[in-house]
Amino acid sequence: MSHHTPHDHSHNHSHNHAQGRGHHHISPDAGDARVAAAVAVNLLLTVAQIIGGVVSGSMALIADAIHNLSDAVSLVIAFAARKIARKPYDGAMTFGYGRAEIVAAMVNYTTLIVIAVYLLAEGVARFFNPPEVEGWIVVWIAAVALVIDLITAALTYAMSKDSLNIRAAFLHNLADAGSSVAVIVAGGLILLYDWRLADPLITVAIALYILWHALLEIRPVVRILMLGAPDGVSRDDIQRAIESVEGVEGAHHVHVWQIDEHRTSVEAHVVSERDHGAILNAIKTLLATDFGIAHSTFEIERIGEGCASGHAG
């Protein structure tokens, strides 16, 4: 006879949900205020650059404004995802809305990869057609943009350590800062020494750096969306741990996945002839202490019943 534990399931869900929230060092409201401030700063710069570009007739200024707008958009996506992720679970989303942040990170990393590939193509094209000298005005505007990018990065840096979502927006900003550095350094070298190859060389270097970072950082995001086990935790280790509990004859149908960035879940069929309550408590305690997993669901089978009578499921 199978033994289900819906009470334990919901209790552990809320316990681990609270545990995940406590992981952040900055309170949610303070974090929201920082992201909102970063959005405001980037939107102000975008508007100023568009006005400046129209007045001066500089396409470079307008292009940089669009670049900064993409930063603001990435931050808006991150901000919205933070808000959605804090909604309590309901009948439609029984695990809660925490994965909204993972989806937002996926969107932002994907656009970042597209930007990096575009910059790479642009840089390579400029090798064959080095840019004309565009004057000190462009260098100074890039310097202003760099200051704004650094302010935005400072607002989101601490939060980026604890959140894949904010980290994606932070890297968007870092990429923009890199582009501004490229404009300043390359523009300066061209104006001072007429070394036109500086621009494509630095553009390609920045693009490769962004691409490398984005591809590296997107991996844990894809892993969560693909229902993968957390890094450093294997299903086999958890199965062995469950089978090591006294009174457990065997375990199968073991699945380990991440609900979101801070919560891991386990489900398994456990074969045992012993008292079910004692076995469940022993397994849950072991998982919590050895693996930090508090969200688990188990089905207890006796030998000859359920999956235990046939295949491993």
pLDDT of residue 10: 37
Say if residues 303 and 273 touch (Cβ distance below 8 Å). yes
Structure tokens at 256: 């380990």
More confident residue, 134 or 39: 39
Beta bridge partners of 297: 267
Say if residues 67 and 226 touch (Cβ distance below 8 Å). no
pLDDT of residue 88: 92
Distance CA 264, CA 275 (A): 26
- List of domains in the chain: 25-225 (1.20.1510.10), 235-309 (3.30.70.1350)
Q: How far is CA 44 from CA 41, 62, 69, 72, 173, in A?
A: 5, 14, 10, 10, 15
| Nearest in space to 38 (alpha carbons), one of 144, 146, 153 | 153
pLDDT of residue 202: 84
- φ, ψ for residue 258 (rounded to 5)? -100, 125
**pLDDT band, very low/low/confident/very high, at 15 (cuts 50, 70, 90):** very low
Question: Which percentage of the chain shows pLDDT scores above 90?
Answer: 35
Tell me the mean pLDDT in the region 309-313. Answer: 48
Distance CA 259, CA 295 (A): 9
| Nearest in space to 85 (alpha carbons), one of 147, 153, 162 | 162
Helices (DSSP H) in the chain: which residue ranges? 6-21, 28-56, 59-85, 100-128, 136-160, 164-193, 198-225, 235-243, 276-291
**What confidence tens digit (pLDDT) does each residue in 210-251 have?**
899 999 999 999 999 999 998 888 899 999 999 999 999 999
Distance CA 223, CA 229 (A): 8
pTM: 0.79
Contacts 24+ apart (CB under 8 A), 78-82: 78/35, 78/104, 78/108, 78/165, 78/166, 78/168, 78/169, 79/32, 79/35, 79/36, 79/39, 80/104, 81/105, 81/165, 82/28, 82/31, 82/32, 82/35, 82/163, 82/165, 82/166
Which residue's structure tokens are 């991440």?
258
Say if residues 268 and 107 touch (Cβ distance below 8 Å). no
Tell me the mean pLDDT in the region 77-103. Answer: 92
**pLDDT band, very low/low/confident/very high, at 59 (cuts 50, 70, 90):** low
Burial class (CB in 10 A: 0-12, 13-18, 19+), 309: exposed
pLDDT at 6 over 70: no
Q: How far is CA 65 from CA 51, 147, 206, 245, in A?
A: 10, 14, 19, 61
**pLDDT band, very low/low/confident/very high, at 155 (cuts 50, 70, 90):** confident
Say if residues 298 and 9 touch (Cβ distance below 8 Å). no
pLDDT of residue 22: 40
Distance CA 73, CA 306 (A): 52
**pLDDT band, very low/low/confident/very high, at 3 (cuts 50, 70, 90):** very low
Tell me the mean pLDDT in the region 305-310. Answer: 63
